[in-house]
Every structure is written in C-alpha cells, then in structure tokens.
C-alpha cells in the first residue's frame, strides 16, 4: 500500500474495503479475529511451556500512571475502606479478634494496560460487522459486542516481535514517529526465528516504555511514539492473527502518517477487520528473557475483565515460557 498523506479519507476507505471481515463468521459474530484462536491453537500454545518461568506484561494500576486527562481519562484512584489501623483500634465490630482490610478502585477502563474492545472504534457510523454504531453502543454500554464476550477466549500462542531490538538503534529503542512497516515485522520475525500466523497473539515491543522508565512519563499518553504504520493493515488482515498489542499508548505510529488524521489504522483494524488491539503492555522483562534464550513464542493468557457492555478492559497478561 502506498500512502497519499493528503487523503486519509480515501486511504481508509480503500483499506476498509480491501480488508473487511464483515460477515466472515456470520452476521451475529461478536468475537472478530478471536475466531482464529481455536482449541487446537490453545493446545499449541500450552505446549510451549518449557521452563515454567512467567512474566506479567502489565503496567501498574496506580495514581502515578501516564494519564493526563485526555478524553477525561485519569489514573486509577485507590481508596481503602477498611485498614489494619481500624482493626488495631477495634473499630470493625468483628468477634473473637478477627480483622480485615477492604478497598475500592475507580478508573477508566483504558487508563493502563488494556484491550480495545470491538465497540471502541467506528467507521463512518458503522461498528464491527457493519452494524449501525448507535444500535451497538449506547449510554447503557456496548449492547452487542461488549468485551465480556471475549473473556473466555484470549489464551493461546503468544509471539514477541521485538522490533526495537531487531531494527532499532543499539539501545533497542525506536524513536518517536518511527512507522513500523510489514517489512519491519517480517524481518523481525525472521531475525527471531519465529513464525507468525493464524490465531497467534502478537506483542510488539518498540522500546517506548523503556524510555519512559528512564525519562519519565512525558507525553506517553497520547504524544509522539513509534508504532505500526497504516500500511500494515494488509498484514494484520492477511496474517490472520487473533490479537496484537504494543508497549505504546496508541498502537499505531504517532504522529499519524496523514495530514489531519487521528488513529486511522484503528478505524480499519477494529470495526472492519474485527481485530483485538492491546496497548500500554509492559514487554521489557519478557523481551530480556527472549533475547537471552532465543525463544520468542510462549503460552499467553490475557483475558479481559468481563465488564458487561464495556468497550475496553484492563488486563494483566501473563506469558509463560
């Protein structure tokens, strides 16, 4: 795909038509590309556990997170309802000396490591599978493709594509604004000696989070970042992967590759391809281990919280090698 940077509307329309999965799994489908992740693929993923070492791919959920209030997104607010102080002072009213602690958290569902559900993005008023957006997501939530439908299925073969190390500078990091192309993805897979195909859950490391850990949050939540090029839409469709996640806030390269555009790859990938997209994943420890032992595929489980009608969900992905 070649890009006319002055015509995002035309490019999006062309890609949406070329790579649409509407109707592929029936008119009632609510899973999109997760349909590629079947029982056989899960067995394949489970067989990849060799050493039993595990990695959480989640950032922390706390008030020191990356959010700055864009679109009213805030960092989590964690409040204690009962504490050890209450117990020590005998204020809890329980018998025979028992005490306890309880807490509550308030947060946007997409404020840290998360999945974008199929109801998150629309294309010209159409949601996944061609449904009218106003009949899918209302003030009552996502009435059709709520992320709770995906909760049992996101577990299988994970593949790390450490593009930062494979094609980046010596520090293993891609610069902000670096557009990752299909050629970069395939070259990285070849360098890692790993294949990517139907039903895989792909995680792409750019090194952006490593820079945050060193320099502070800055504009991590919404600012310039490396990410997938719009031209990867064909690869995302043709590879038949089940899901993909990155260590960046926006998944695709920022600034976007068109003039006067906002997240055009999202507009193709979610409502048209039906692709499950993850953002703000912490891939640093996993990447170090993969570089050390040369193994870049693993068992990965990353179920969203089954929040009824939600269009996104926090997640604690766990990779096991």
Domains of the chain by residue range: 8-71+108-320, 77-106
Cα–Cα distance, 14 to 8 (Å, whole number): 10
- Could you tell me the pLDDT band of residue 140, with boundaries at 50, 70 and 90? very high
Beta bridge partners of 204: 161, 246
pTM of the entire structure? Answer: 0.96
Please count the other Cβ atoms lying within 10 Å of the Cβ belonging to residue 104.
9
Contact of 212 with 192, CB cutoff 8 Å: no
Mean local confidence (pLDDT), 74-82 = 97
Residue 214: the pLDDT is 95
Q: How far is CA 139 from CA 129, 134, 135, in A?
A: 21, 10, 11
Query: Angle, nearest 10°, between helix axes 208-215 and 284-293?
Result: 120
Give 91-139 pLDDT, tens digit per residue: 999 999 999 999 999 999 999 999 999 999 999 999 999 999 999 999 9
- Whole-number pLDDT of residue 169: 86
Q: 97: which DSSP letter? A: T
Report percent pLDDT > 90 for the chain: 98
Task: Tell me the sheet residues that pair with 299.
Answer: 157, 320
Tens-place pLDDT, residues 174-218: 999 999 999 999 999 999 999 999 999 999 999 999 999 999 999
Q: What CATH code is assigned to 8-71+108-320?
A: 3.50.30.50
Residue 98 to residues 111, 136, 148, 180, Cα–Cα distance (Å) = 36, 47, 36, 56
Phi, psi of 34 (to 5 degrees): -60, -15
- Within 8 A by CB and 6+ apart from 56, the residues are 282, 316, 317, 318
């Amino acid at each position: 795909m070649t890009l006319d940077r002055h015509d995002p509307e035309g490019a999006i329309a062309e890609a949406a038509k070329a790579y649409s999965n509407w109707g592929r799994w029936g008119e009632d489908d609510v899973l999109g590309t997760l349909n590629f992740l079947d029982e056989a693929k899960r067995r394949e993923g489970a067989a990849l556990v060799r050493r039993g070492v595990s990695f959480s791919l989640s950032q922390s959920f706390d008030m020191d997170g990356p959010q700055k209030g864009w679109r009213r997104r805030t960092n989590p607010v964690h409040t204690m309802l009962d504490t050890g102080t209450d117990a020590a002072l005998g204020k809890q009213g329980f018998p025979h000396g028992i005490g306890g602690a309880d807490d509550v958290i308030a947060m946007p569902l997409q404020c840290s490591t998360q999945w974008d559900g199929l109801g998150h993005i629309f294309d010209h008023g159409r949601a996944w599978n061609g449904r009218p957006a106003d009949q899918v997501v209302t003030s009552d939530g996502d009435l059709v493709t709520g992320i709770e439908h995906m909760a049992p299925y996101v577990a299988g073969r994970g593949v790390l594509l450490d593009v930062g190390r494979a094609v980046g500078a010596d520090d293993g990091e891609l610069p902000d604004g670096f557009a990752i192309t299909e050629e970069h993805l395939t070259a990285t897979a070849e360098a890692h000696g790993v294949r990517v195909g139907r039903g895989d859950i792909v995680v792409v490391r750019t090194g952006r989070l490593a820079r945050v850990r060193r320099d502070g949050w800055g504009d991590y939540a919404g600012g310039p970042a490396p990410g997938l090029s719009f031209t990867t839409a064909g690869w995302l469709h043709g590879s038949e992967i089940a899901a993909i996640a990155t260590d960046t806030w926006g998944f695709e390269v920022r600034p976007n590759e068109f003039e006067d555009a906002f997240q055009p790859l999202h507009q193709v990938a979610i409502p048209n391809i039906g692709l499950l997209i993850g953002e703000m994943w912490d891939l640093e420890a996993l990447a170090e281990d993969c570089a050390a032992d040369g193994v870049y595929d693993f068992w990965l489980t990353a179920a969203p919280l089954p929040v009824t009608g939600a269009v996104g969900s926090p997640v604690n992905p766990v990779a096991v090698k």
